[in-house]
């Protein structure tokens, strides 16, 4: 790790800011004084809260132009084609949307002199480990994991400066589409608030129990990802970081702890199989919990316990503002 300036103001070009994680990252970076420019592919509308620029991530010259216009110090690459079935339907297009795009961003950043922060996933592993370390060789089970792993390698081998931050079990609100339905899926994303939505309305919530889906993860709130990404940029981190929570939990454990923190009735929890129409057309890693030993050293701070993160999420739901703990 380079020790670089800890106080320099970051000028961050962010991709994926209209998405779930990207919106939270944008909010936290902006709240913490980073100079943000969101590279978007279409006009995000009048309510979009951060500066934006239409940028074609298929065109390396346009990415370079965005970096130059903004005088970016960093590019945080979060944009993703989030359609697993689509990757299988058109593998060539999927490869370009992941690996090709990451390569264009890396080359543009190198030419401009910016660092690259690439957001990756716990699904680069096959789900047979537990609290897997940053330096464990990847072993993806499906095309999403494979293309993320290849994108990671593109950054690790190709970026003059930068790092890969794996996240997983991400909990939070979609800031730019707050009314979008929040539903349990075969990953851990949105799990807590979909449960909170149901139980708050007095409806039962069925926690899926199935060895063929993501059953264990290290949940982290989306706002915390923003805080730690900024910290990693300020510290000019390199290599692989794991930005996850301190606790590895099953879906049922997460459901029980969420009931406790949100003061909801655990008697409304059920367990059951995954509905057929929710299954994904590919193998899913089961235990994707991650360890953070190297990350703790690089960032100088351990991850937050699950209860604290759920408490911050509850505050966020009440206040309407992301509450990172770091
Ligand atoms: N959500 C999770 O639980 C989770 C877990 C692990 C890792 N991650 C990682 O977190 C990152 C963000 O995921 P997310 O869940 O926030 O995704 P998301 O909500 O689906 O958002 C995807 C974002 O990428 C943008 N995008 C997609 N294709 C693009 C293109 N060709 N050009 C420009 N922008 C494009 C979308 O823009 P539009 O609004 O225009 O469509 C949107 O802003 C990804 O790298 C993902 O691997 C997420």
Residue 19 Cα, ligand 1 centroid: separation in angstroms? 5
Ligand 1 contact, 121 CB (< 6 A): yes
pLDDT at residue number 5: 41
pLDDT at residue number 179: 76
Residue 160 Cα, ligand 1 centroid: separation in angstroms? 24
Residue 78 Cα, ligand 1 centroid: separation in angstroms? 6
Atom 33, ligand 1: which residue's CA is nearest?
41
Residue ranges and CATH numbers for the domains of the chain are 11-173+217-246+288-305 (3.40.50.720)
pTM: 0.97
* Beta bridge pairs of residue 38: 14, 52
Record the tokens describing residue 303, joined without a space: 């991850």
Task: Tell me which DSSP letter residue 274 carries.
Answer: P
Ligand 1 contact, 94 CB (< 6 A): no
Cβ proximity of 307 and 163 under 8 Å: no
Residue 73 Cα, ligand 1 centroid: separation in angstroms? 22
CA dist 176 and 195 (Å) reads 21
CA dist 189 and 171 (Å) reads 6
- Which of 13, 14, 15, 21 has the most ligand 1 atoms within 8 A of CB, as the residue to mutate? 21
pLDDT at residue number 249: 98
Mean pLDDT split into 10-residue runs, the chain, 326 residues: 54 98 98 98 97 98 98 98 95 98 98 98 98 98 98 98 98 88 88 96 96 97 98 98 98 98 98 94 97 98 98 96 94
């Amino acid at each position: 790790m380079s020790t670089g300036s800890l106080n320099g103001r970051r000028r961050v070009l962010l991709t994926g800011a209209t998405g779930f994680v990207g919106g939270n990252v944008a909010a936290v970076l902006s709240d913490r004084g980073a100079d943000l420019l969101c590279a978007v592919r279409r006009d995000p509308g009048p309510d979009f809260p951060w500066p934006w620029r239409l940028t074609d991530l298929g065109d390396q010259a346009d990415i370079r132009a965005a970096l130059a216009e903004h005088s970016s110090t960093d590019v945080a690459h979060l944009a993703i084609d989030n359609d697993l079935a689509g990757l299988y339907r058109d593998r060539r297009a999927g490869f370009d949307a992941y690996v090709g795009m990451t390569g264009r961003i890396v080359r543009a950043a190198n030419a401009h002199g910016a660092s690259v922060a690439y957001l990756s996933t716990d699904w680069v592993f096959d789900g047979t480990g537990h609290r897997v370390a940053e330096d464990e060789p990847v072993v993806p089970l499906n095309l999403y994991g494979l293309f993320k792993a290849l994108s990671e390698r593109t950054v690790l081998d190709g970026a003059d400066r930068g790092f890969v931050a794996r996240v997983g079990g991400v909990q939070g609100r979609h800031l730019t589409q707050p009314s979008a339905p929040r539903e349990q899926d075969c990953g851990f994303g949105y799990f807590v608030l979909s449960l909170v939505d149901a139980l708050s309305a007095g409806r039962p919530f069925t926690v899926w129990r199935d060895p063929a889906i993501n059953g264990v993860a290290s949940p982290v709130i989306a706002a915390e990802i923003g805080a730690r990404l900024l910290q990693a940029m300020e510290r000019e981190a390199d290599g692989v970081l794991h930005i996850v929570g301190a606790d590895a939990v099953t879906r049922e454990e997460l459901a029980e702890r969420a009931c406790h923190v949100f003061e909801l009735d655990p008697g409304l929890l059920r367990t059951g199989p995954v509905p057929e129409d929710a299954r994904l057309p590919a193998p899913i890693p089961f235990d994707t919990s991650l360890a953070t030993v190297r990350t703790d050293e690089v960032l100088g701070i351990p991850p937050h316990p699950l209860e604290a993160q759920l408490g911050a999420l509850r505050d966020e739901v009440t206040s309407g503002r992301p509450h990172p703990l770091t």
